[in-house]
Amino acid sequence: MLNKIDFSIATSDQIEGFLCSQLKNLRLTRNFTQAQLAKESGVAIGTIRRLEEGKSISLNTFIRILMALDLQENLETLLPDPTIRPIERVNTGGSERKRARPIRSDTDNSPWVWGDESGDKK
């Protein structure tokens, strides 16, 4: 069965369940038992069972399991290097962004009046 999920509309619980089922399928494809994966990753077998049931595990445990399945290279795809953005570098003249600045919206063009401050109690 081919598992598919639309990450743009899925909830965090749905994504977590999908990732857990994918890890179980990868474990089976690599012909690892739960006990072998637990030993290889250094986690308890109960943790592997919880993972495969779609229950939460720590990020550290998730990474250790990925490493035991030799999937750690895929983490680069998950969070790509933010400094490598050639188009943005051209637009900014090569300077790197140091902080985020939200875009200000000036939707309220009405003139300010005394006593009009937010949080003003009368």
What local confidence, expressed as pLDDT, does residue 1 receive? 41
DSSP, residue by residue, 25-36: HHHHHTT--HHH
0.75 surpassed by pTM: no
Per-residue exposure over 51-78, b if at least 16 CB sit within 10 Å of its own CB, e if not: bbeeeebeeebbebbbebbeeeeeeeee
What local confidence, expressed as pLDDT, does residue 94 receive? 57
Q: What is the pLDDT of residues 91-104, one digit of tens each?
A: 666 566 677 777 77
Give the number of other Cβ atoms within 10 Å of residue 118's Cβ: 4
* Stronger pLDDT, 36 or 104, i.e. the higher one: 36
DSSP-based helix, strand, coil % in the chain, nearest 5 = 50, 0, 50
Report the run of H or E that residue 47 belongs to, with start and end: helix 45-52
> Taking Cα atoms as reference points, which of 53, 50, 73 lies closest to residue 63?
73
Residues 84, 87: Cα–Cα separation, whole Å: 9
Q: What percentage of the chain carries pLDDT values higher than 90?
A: 43
Set out the domains of the chain in order of their start, with CATH numbers: 12-74 (1.10.260.40)
Kindly give, in sequence order, each residue whose CB lies less than 8 Å from that of residue 62, ignoring residues fewer than 6 positions away: 51
Q: pLDDT-derived band of residue 77, with 50, 70 and 90 as boundaries? A: confident
Residue 106 pLDDT > 90: no
Compute the mean pLDDT over every residue in the chain, rounded to the nearest whole number.
Answer: 82
